[in-house]
Amino acid sequence: DTGVSQDPRHKITKRGQNVTFRCDPISEHNRLYWYRQTLGQGPEFLTYFQNEAQLEKSRLLSDRFSAERPKGSFSTLEIQRTEQGDSAMYLCASSSLAGAAETQYFGPGTRLLVL
């Protein structure tokens, strides 16, 4: 078990460009989450997948953001027409469906800087 991995770890882009991040969850986990963390704040929930189905999207996820998990394994988060306010750490987490509450395991995050 190699844990949750994310790629890239760092991304610098110019305003207006599109970026895509990848998350590979722990292999047997069927739940996958994306969070965003800005300086001085805790992680904020963005979206949740159970297998390939996207079951919830936060209002933080504007129309410029789209997330997919096409085969119920890895997931991608795309930001179109990036803005400076998108600069943040994007965290992915996964868990397995086991009871009413389960522990989410986080990846190392992708740090995005929009110039």
Partner 1 sequence: DQQVKQNSPSLSVQEGRISILNCDYTNSMFDYFLWYKKYPAEGPTFLISISSIKDKNEDGRFTVFLNKSAKHLSLHIVPSQPGDSAVYFCAAIEGTYKYIFGTGTRLKVLA
In the complex, the residues that contact partner 1 under the rule CB under 8 A are 4, 6, 31, 33, 35, 40-45, 48, 56, 91, 93, 95, 100-109
Beta carbon of residue 77, minimum distance to partner 1 (angstroms, whole number): 15
Between 98 and 115, CB nearer to partner 1: 98
| Phi-psi map region of 73: left, alpha, beta (phi>0 left; psi -120 to 50 alpha) | alpha
Close Cβ partners of 77 (under 8 Å, ≥ 6 residues apart)? 20, 21, 23, 34, 46, 65, 66, 67, 90, 92
Beta carbon of residue 16, minimum distance to partner 1 (angstroms, whole number): 27
Between 75 and 95, CB nearer to partner 1: 95
CB 87 within 8 Å of CB 1: no
Residue 110 C-beta-side C-alpha neighbours within 13 Å: 26
Between 48 and 65, CB nearer to partner 1: 48
Between 17 and 38, CB nearer to partner 1: 38
Beta carbon of residue 73, minimum distance to partner 1 (angstroms, whole number): 19
